[in-house]
A and B are shown apart, each in its own frame.
Chain A
Amino acid sequence: MMGTQDIIDTLAGIEPGSTLDAIRARRLQARENAQKSYLALFEPIDAGDFSLAERAAVAAFVTGLHGASPVAAFYRDKLAATAEGAPLLDAINAEIERGRTSGPYGAYPAGPLSIENKAGLIYRVSPERKPVLGARLVAALEHAHLLVFHPRDAASADMKALLAAGWSATGIVTFSQLVAFLSFQVRVVSGLRTLAAASA
């Protein structure tokens, strides 16, 4: 099951034998398990609660919201290569454009931190694209946008919205892990690319 290509190395352009290759090798367990995380999310043993096409669609949306990058291109290509995902590509691209903003923003529990509350976009999928995406993905994209840009606004009602749209508790856990993992992966790749460029 293990792919031979390390996905972070590939996306960050890290060549075998390079300085960054040697540095990453010092955190071998982290490197191998970032890779295992990717495989567990995108080549799972059981995709019954969260289909492969849904995973690819959410990943393309989440990484696209971070702006153009090799990571966003990778997941867009992954969606295009997924049989049931490819027809969603135009809708996902259009929703990325509608959802782009700057984070993190959001509100704190009422109290001394309220002065730090920052308003921002409360994203909702365009009504015209709801039929092609379907209720599960509409709910997923709306929740993914919250996780990407204003996670401190999350509330128990958001879990109820996902459950009502047909997500199981296990599906919600995997979906949340996928969005959160991509938030990690896109940053590691960006950080490593920036460091490599600063050392060239």
Chain B
Amino acid sequence: MSTVNPPVVFTQDELGWVSWIDPLPEAELTERHYAGLVDRARAKSEYFRLLVRDPEVLEARTKTDKDIFYNVADGLPRAERELAAAATSRYNGCIYCASVHARFASTYSKRRDDVQRLLDEGIKADLGERWNAVVKASVALAATPIAFGPDNIAELRRAGLDDAEIVDVVNGASFFNWANRLMLSLGEPSK
């Protein structure tokens, strides 16, 4: 059992993650598990070796994730999909997920300081019309009961998003309501 040193602020630094229940040992992984991991290299990750206890669900989840974020043949720029993920994670309180996707948002947007303000100031940080609309829509979707409504659509359209790009926001933000709950409840981040 490694020593856990939990982060107490939102950060773009790289964090580790420690499982609270036993992941499968790498030596016990079969081809069924590797199919679930999708990328064989993920066998090195404690998080994925935990989720691979249900390989069929992990495989489908991973492929959903990859298409929502990496398929940039058209639609919303990657930076803004990552912004939706980071904003959702900031609002739900997932320090680990926020760190990963804030880093990606910074990498793809070259707006590291604005991304850091989202982490430091929270979801009310003023990041300009377009980013504000994406953050606000993501936050409205993350609320329970869901608060996403016609005003969010109108705001995204005013900011220049077309319907396909709005669906990318909906997919990206919704997906992080999936990811945040796994990361927050099955283990914890460590510096």
The answer on a CB contact under 8 Å between A159 and B20 is yes
Is A188 within 8 A of B170, CB to CB? yes
Do A187 and B61 contact each other (CB < 8 Å), given the known contacts A108-B93, A151-B180, A173-B186? no
Which of chain B's residues have a CB closer than 8 A to the CB of A29? 63-64, 66-67, 71
Which residues of the other chain, A, contact B170 by a CB distance below 8 angstroms? Answer: 187-188, 191-192, 195
What bracket does the count of chain B residues touching chain A fall in?
A: 35 or more
Q: Is B152 an interface residue (CB 8 A)?
A: yes
In the complex formed, the residue of A with least CB distance to B146 is A190
Q: A102-B143, A152-B94, A187-B146 are in contact. Are A30 and B185 (CB under 8 A)?
A: no
Contact A194 B150 (CB under 8 A): yes
Q: How far is the CA of A37 from the CA of B63 in the complex (A)?
A: 10
Residues of B within 8 A of A30 (CB): 63-64, 67-68, 71, 171
Q: Is the interface of A mostly helix, strand, loop or mixed?
A: helix
- The answer to the question of B60 belonging to the interface, with a C-beta cut-off of 8 Å to chain A, is yes
Is B100 positioned at the interface, with any CB of A under 8 Å from its CB? no
Q: Across the two chains, which residue of chain B brings its CB closest to A198? A: B153
Which of B10, B57, B91 lies at the interface centre, i.e. has the most chain A CB atoms within 10 A of its CB? B57
Alpha-carbon separation in the docked complex, A198 to B149 (Å): 9
Measured between alpha carbons, how far is A173 from B21 in the docked complex, in Å? 9
Q: Would you call B51 an interface residue if the criterion is a C-beta within 8 Å of the partner chain's C-beta atoms?
A: yes
**B118 an interface residue at 8 Å Cβ cutoff?**
no
Complex CA distance for A103 and B93, rounded to whole angstroms: 11
**Nearest neighbor of A45 in chain B, beta-carbon distance:** B56
Minimum distance in angstroms from A143 CB to a CB of chain B: 8
Cβ < 8 Å to A, chain B residues 112-167: 122, 141-146, 148-150, 152-154, 163-164, 166-167
Interface residues on A, range: 35 or more
Stretch in contact with the other chain, from A17-25, A78-86, A89-97, A126-134: A17-25
Does A44 lie at the interface of the complex (its beta carbon under 8 Å from any beta carbon of B)?
yes
**A26 & B181 in contact (Cβ 8 Å cutoff):** no
**B164 and A26 contacting across the interface, CB-CB below 8 Å:** yes
Q: Give every chain A residue within 8 A of B60 (Cβ-Cβ).
A: 33-34, 36-37, 39-40
Cβ B167 vs Cβ A192 within 8 A: yes
Q: For the complex, what is the distance from the CA of A103 to the CA of B143, rounded to whole Å?
A: 6
Question: Distance (Å) between the CB of A46 and the closest chain B CB?
Answer: 9
Nearest-CB distance from A23 to chain B (Å)?
Answer: 5
Query: Which of chain A's residues have a CB closer than 8 A to the CB of B144?
Result: 65-66, 102-104, 148-149
Which residues of B lie under 8 Å from residue A32 when comparing CB positions?
63
- Assembled-state Cα–Cα distance A27/B178 (Å): 18
Q: A154-B184, A177-B182 are in contact. Are A190 and B148 (CB under 8 A)?
A: yes
Q: List 24 A-B contacts (CB under 8 A).
A: A26-B71, A27-B71, A29-B64, A30-B71, A37-B61, A44-B56, A45-B56, A103-B144, A104-B142, A110-B8, A154-B184, A154-B185, A158-B185, A169-B22, A173-B50, A180-B181, A181-B61, A181-B178, A183-B181, A187-B141, A187-B170, A192-B170, A195-B170, A197-B150
Hey, which bits of chain A sit against chain B, CB under 8 A?
Answer: 19-20, 23-24, 26-30, 32-34, 36-37, 39-41, 44-45, 65-67, 102-104, 106, 108-113, 116, 143, 146-149, 151-152, 154, 156, 158-159, 163, 169-170, 172-174, 176-177, 179-181, 183-188, 190-192, 194-195, 197-199
Residue positions of B touching A, CB distance < 8 A: 6-10, 20-22, 50-51, 53-54, 56-61, 63-64, 66-68, 71, 73-75, 91-95, 122, 141-146, 148-150, 152-154, 163-164, 166-171, 173-175, 177-182, 184-186, 188
